[in-house]
Structures are given as C-alpha cells and as structure tokens.
Structure 1
C-alpha cells in the first residue's frame, strides 16, 4: 500500500473481521505530515491487531 498524505490530520482505516482469523489488522492510523516543523516526531503509522488464537 502506498500512502499519499494530502493534509495535516491523521489518516485512519478500519478492517473489520469477516470470519475467524480472516484479518490480522483491526485498524491502521498514519501521520505523513504535520503543520509545524516536527521533523518526524509525529510521523509514522500504528496498527491495532485483532485477537488471534494460534493452535499448535
């Protein structure tokens, strides 16, 4: 996925679970640019993951 940031606000996406273990990522939030001279202190992405059960 390529992100083109067009504003100074957070960009967020949600990925609801359609079936058990069908998606790992629940939500994604990215900041590509800020209004000031942050020089990378607020830029980046963070993800929240769905609960995942692994059976061996």
Structure 2
C-alpha cells in the first residue's frame, strides 16, 4: 500500500510538472490519482479482501 501511494504521488507530481505537453500531463495525473485510490482501497481490510477476490 505504501509503495502504491508513493508511486501515485510521484506520477501525480511528474504529470503536474508537464507544462509543455498537455496530453501527457492529463494521462499522468489520471494514472497518479488511480494509483492513490488503489492504495486507499488496499489500506482497509475490506478493500484488501475485494482486491484479492478480483485477482482470483
């Protein structure tokens, strides 16, 4: 969970710094937000159970 959160913050900040390339900026920002949401879901016991059922 911590790895996903750190990676999400890194991707989000990298996307936020892409001033000259707006299409790339949007893709990185959306991907960073999705990683942060996934990290938040896996932080709870119910979310971990849901993710484990999705993988199986």
Name the TM-score, length of structure 2 as normaliser.
Answer: 0.31
TM-score by length of 1: 0.31
Query: More helix per residue: 1 or 2?
Result: 2
Pick the structure with more strand per residue. Answer: 1
